[in-house]
């Protein structure tokens, strides 16, 4: 019998406004989303970054031991499952990706935010992993509009140029084609916690899709 992927990637819509992105209302199967969130709520792996422009705590999945007492997490975030995610994103973006994926887990608490940035860097001679596409998975079962922490997509570096607002609704996600125009930011978190897993992929050609 065929394996059913943990990444359901259901109901996706693509948009070019203000830059290429894909909104996915249901990313994981519900049980997998619940269990992954339970892990993030119970782990002590998070470490704070000291960057006033991007305030949050984080850890890199490749750098930690996935929890032995939660064996499903190893499957949900394991190589086969990430292949499923990559395949789904290849279809949605219409590009091919290299197999490697960098997974950064982020937690924002009250007062945290990210100012407008692009994640766009020169590729030539890069000595670190610089994704051309990011897929952000939100895990926040208790999120309410009053809690803040919305992702904004902007037409420029000017906060007044906001084009799209994305609520970090539990088990939804957004894929972003990074490029010269991929301005985005996270509005301040007012209360509660906001979990996001950032999956970074690089095109097979090692080029940005919209450069
Ligand atoms: O958490 C988010 O919604 C955005 C994260 C982000 O922009 C980043 O990690 O570069
Ligand atoms: Fe970003």
Distance CA 168, CA 152 (A): 11
pLDDT band at 84 (very low <50, low <70, confident <90, very high): very high
Q: What is the ipTM of this complex?
A: 0.99
Cα dist. 153→41, 162, 177, 190, 211 in Å? 27, 6, 12, 20, 17
pLDDT at residue 12 greater than cutoff 70? yes
pLDDT at residue 211 greater than cutoff 80? no
C-beta of residue 66 within 8 angstroms of C-beta of residue 77: yes
pLDDT band at 128 (very low <50, low <70, confident <90, very high): confident
Residue 115: both structure tokens together: 């100012």
Question: What is the percent of the chain with per-residue pLDDT over 70, rounded to a whole number?
Answer: 99
Distance CA 15, CA 39 (A): 32
Answer whether 114 contacts ligand 1 (Cβ < 6 A): yes
Output the pLDDT for position 141: 94
According to CATH, the superfamily of the domain at 7-46+56-201 is: q2cbj1_9rhob like domain (2.60.120.620)
pLDDT at residue 134 greater than cutoff 70? yes
| C-alpha 2 to ligand 1 mean position (Å) | 34
Answer whether 55 contacts ligand 1 (Cβ < 6 A): no
Could you read off the pLDDT of 16-46 as tens digits, one per residue?
999 999 999 999 999 999 999 999 999 999 9
Find the ligand nearest to 167 CA.
Answer: 1
Q: Where are the beta strands (DSSP E) in the chain?
A: 7-10, 13-15, 21-24, 26-28, 47-48, 57-60, 102-108, 114-117, 133-139, 151-154, 162-166, 173-177, 183-186, 194-201
Answer whether 161 contacts ligand 1 (Cβ < 6 A): no
**Which has the minimum average pLDDT: 5-19, 54-68, 98-112?**
54-68
Output the pLDDT for position 68: 83
Residue bearing the bigger pLDDT, 89 or 67: 89
Give the ligand 1 atom nearest the CA of 168: 3
């Amino acid at each position: 019998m065929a394996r059913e992927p943990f990444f359901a990637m259901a109901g996706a819509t693509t948009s070019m406004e203000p830059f290429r992105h894909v909104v996915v209302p249901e990313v994981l199967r519900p049980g997998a989303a619940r269990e992954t969130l339970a892990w993030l709520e119970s782990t002590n792996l998070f470490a704070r970054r000291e960057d006033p422009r991007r305030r949050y705590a984080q850890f890199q999945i490749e750098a930690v031991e996935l929890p032995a007492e939660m064996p499903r997490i190893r499957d949900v975030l394991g190589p086969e499952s990430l292949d499923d995610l990559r395949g789904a994103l290849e279809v949605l973006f219409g590009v091919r990706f290299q197999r490697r994926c960098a997974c950064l887990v982020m937690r924002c608490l009250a007062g945290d935010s990210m100012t407008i940035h692009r994640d766009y860097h020169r590729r030539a001679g890069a000595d670190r992993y610089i994704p051309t596409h990011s897929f952000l998975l939100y895990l926040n079962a208790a999120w309410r509009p009053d809690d803040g922490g919305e992702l904004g997509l902007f037409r420029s570096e000017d906060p007044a140029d906001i084009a799209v607002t994305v609520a970090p609704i539990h088990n939804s996600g957004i894929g972003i084609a990074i490029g010269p125009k991929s301005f985005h930011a996270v509005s301040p978190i007012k209360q509660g916690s906001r979990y996001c897993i950032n999956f970074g992929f690089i095109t097979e050609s090692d080029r940005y899709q919209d450069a």
